[in-house]
Amino acid sequence: MIPTLLVTSLLIFWAMDLAGGDPVNQILPENATYEQREILREQMGFNDPFMVRYFRYIGGILSGDMGKSYISGLDVFGTFMGRLHMTLLLGGSALIFACLISVPLGIYTALHQNTWKDTLATVLALFGVSMPNFWLGLMLILLFSLKLGWLPSGGTGGIQYLVLPAVTVGLSLAALLTRTTRSAMLDVIRQDYMTTAKAKGASYRRVIYNHGLRNAMIPIVTAVGMQFSYVMTGSALAETVFGWPGIGRLVVDSINKRDTPMVTGSIILCCVLMAIINLAVDIVYAFCDPRIKAQYSGRS
């Protein structure tokens, strides 16, 4: 994780250094004199070489200082953490919604391979994968907020404010997870141990869930982890459409305001979050597949 995060932070810092423009213009008013601009540039180290500024930034991160916003003057890390719980709420709700739909549907379509049921589910999954989140969000707002008046169109509050954003993000996840679950189940239902379990008189439910689904969990867990990483760091469009105050909207607003420290710090923290999620997925593997746990136990 550490080398990956170092390389990622270097690339992000380099990209923001190229695209961020002169930070003095964001800090000082337009009527500031040339002398004032040069003094501030020297005080904040903007005249230093790139690598000097990068290592100074990394040193600040290691000491818990990711800088302050040019616009609001607030601490970058504190602002990010203040938004993180909202994105966790949205991402967790969307993922639960997606799993409740996709896992049973993926198993069902695998057991009815090459039938009209399988074809219909595949078409719906392809539609869900291809459908942009922002378009789906707008359609749900038009139907359930403007037309029927059942749910609010945006903002935060009770659980009713969470339904539309969670469904918008969760439907695309459900489509991907359905296809993954179907493929994983098709691989295991043809295995010899499934035939042996049936021959021993095990119930249909036990064969499918205890023997089939458990052995198909590795690709499913991988897909869930990848999609959760995507939700946590890539749901900016859905958050913007519904006015959801998460980290995705924070990054979009900061980019529009050319707030370089907030953008840089938020993207680096998103990379850290993705690395932690991927590490958690690797750990979950050991609980899903005893062979992996035995492999590492033998090495120790």
Could you list the pLDDT tens digit for every one of the 300 residues in the chain? 778 778 888 888 888 777 766 677 666 666 777 777 777 777 777 777 888 888 888 888 888 778 888 777 788 888 888 888 888 888 888 888 888 888 888 888 887 877 888 788 878 877 777 777 778 888 888 888 888 888 887 777 778 888 888 888 888 888 888 888 888 888 777 777 776 766 777 676 777 766 677 777 777 777 787 777 777 766 777 888 888 888 888 888 888 877 888 888 888 888 888 888 878 877 777 676 666 555 555 554
Unique residue bearing structure tokens 């219909």: 120
The whole-angstrom separation of Cα 143 and Cα 164 is 11
Which pLDDT does position 13 carry in this prediction? 81
At residue 16, the 3 state secondary structure works out as helix
Dist. CA 141–CA 146, nearest whole Å: 6
CB atoms within 10 A of CB 64: 8
Nearest residue to 248 (alpha-carbon basis) of 109, 158, 114, 137: 137
The full set of domain ranges for the chain reads 2-62, 76-299
Rounded distance, CA 274 to CA 123, Å?
A: 30
Query: Is 3.40.50.2300 the CATH classification of the domain at 76-299?
Result: no
Answer whether 153's CB lies under 8 Å from 196's CB. Answer: no
Q: What is the pLDDT of residue 300?
A: 47
pLDDT at 234: 61
- Using only the alpha carbons of the chain, give its radius of gyration: 24
Please say whether the beta carbons of 58 and 10 come within 8 A: no
Cβ(78)–Cβ(250) below 8 Å: no
- What are the start-end ranges of the E strands in 51-150? none
pTM reported for the whole predicted model: 0.75
